[in-house]
Amino acid sequence: MHRPLFEPEHQVFRDSFRSFVENEILPFHARWEEEGIVPREIWNKAGENGFLCMDVEEKYGGAGISDFRYDSIVIEELANTGASGVYFSLHTDVVVPYITNYGTEEQKQRWLPRMAAGEWIGAIAMTEPGAGSDLAALRTTAVRRGNCYIVNGQKTFISNGILNDIAIVAVKTDPQAGHKGISLLVVERGTPGFERGNQFHKMGLHAQDTAELYFSDAQVPVENLLGAEGQGFKLLMKELPRERMSLSVGAIAGARAAFDLTLKYAKDRKAFGQPIGSFQHSKFLFAEMHTEITIGQTFIDQCILDLNAGTLTNDTASMAKWWTTELLKRVVDHCVQLHGGYGYIMETPIARRYLDARVATIFSGTTEIMKEIIGRGLGL
Task: Look at the chain and report how many structural domains it folds into.
Answer: 3
Domain co-membership, 170 together with 68: no
Phi, psi torsion values for 31, nearest 5 degrees? -65, -40
Domain co-membership, 257 together with 360: yes
What pLDDT is stored for residue 379 in this prediction?
94
Domain co-membership, 99 together with 156: no
Assign residue 345 a region: left if phi > 0, alpha if psi is -120 to 50, beta otherwise? beta
What pLDDT is stored for residue 1 in this prediction?
65
Contacts of the segment 148-151: beta carbons below 8 A, 24+ positions apart: 148/219, 148/220, 148/221, 148/222, 149/173, 149/185, 149/219, 149/220, 149/221, 149/222, 149/224, 149/225, 150/217, 150/218, 150/219, 151/185, 151/187, 151/193, 151/194, 151/215, 151/217, 151/218, 151/219, 151/220
Q: Is residue 243 part of a domain?
A: yes
pLDDT digits (tens, 9 = 90+) for 230-263: 999 999 989 989 999 999 999 999 999 999 999 9
What pLDDT is stored for residue 130 in this prediction?
79
Determine the structural domain holding residue 58 and report its residue range. 8-116
Low-confidence residues of the chain: pLDDT under 70: 1, 132
For residues 143 and 236, what is the distance between their CA atoms, to the nearest angstrom?
A: 20
What pLDDT is stored for residue 28 in this prediction?
97
**What CATH number did the domain enclosing 223 receive?**
2.40.110.10
Q: Is 153 helix (H, G, I), strand (E, B) or coil?
A: strand
Domain co-membership, 239 together with 359: yes
Chain mean position to CA 193: 27
Give CA separation, 231 vs 26, 242, 255, in Å.
41, 18, 37
Domain co-membership, 209 together with 241: no
Q: Is residue 259 part of a domain?
A: yes
Q: Is 205 helix (H, G, I), strand (E, B) or coil?
A: coil
The pTM for the full model equals 0.95
Q: Is residue 2 part of a domain?
A: no
Q: Is residue 1 part of a domain?
A: no
Determine contact, residues 218/151, Cβ cutoff 8 Å: yes
> Which active-site residues does the annotation give?
243
DSSP annotation string for 182-202: EEEEEEETT-TTEEEEEEP--
Single-letter code of the amino acid located at 302: Q
Determine contact, residues 286/266, Cβ cutoff 8 Å: yes
Q: Nearest CA to 289 among 235, 245, 233, 328?
A: 328
**Residue by residue, what is the 3-state secondary structure of 88-139?**
HHHHHHHHHHHHHHHCCHHHHHHHHHHHHCCCCCEEEECCECCECCCHHHCC
Determine contact, residues 230/174, Cβ cutoff 8 Å: yes
Residues 6 or more apart whose Cβ sits within 8 Å of residue 254: 79, 328, 332, 353, 356, 357, 360
What pLDDT is stored for residue 3 in this prediction?
87
Domain co-membership, 260 together with 195: no
* Per-chain mean pLDDT for the chain: 95
Domain co-membership, 35 together with 97: yes
**What CATH number did the domain enclosing 323 receive?**
1.20.140.10
Domain co-membership, 293 together with 345: yes
Q: Is residue 3 part of a domain?
A: no
pLDDT digits (tens, 9 = 90+) for 249-306: 999 999 999 999 999 999 999 989 999 999 999 999 999 999 999 999 999 999 999 9
For residues 258 and 348, what is the distance between their CA atoms, to the nearest angstrom?
A: 11
Q: Is residue 68 part of a domain?
A: yes
Domain co-membership, 201 together with 259: no
Domain co-membership, 276 together with 365: yes
Phi, psi torsion values for 295, nearest 5 degrees? -60, -45
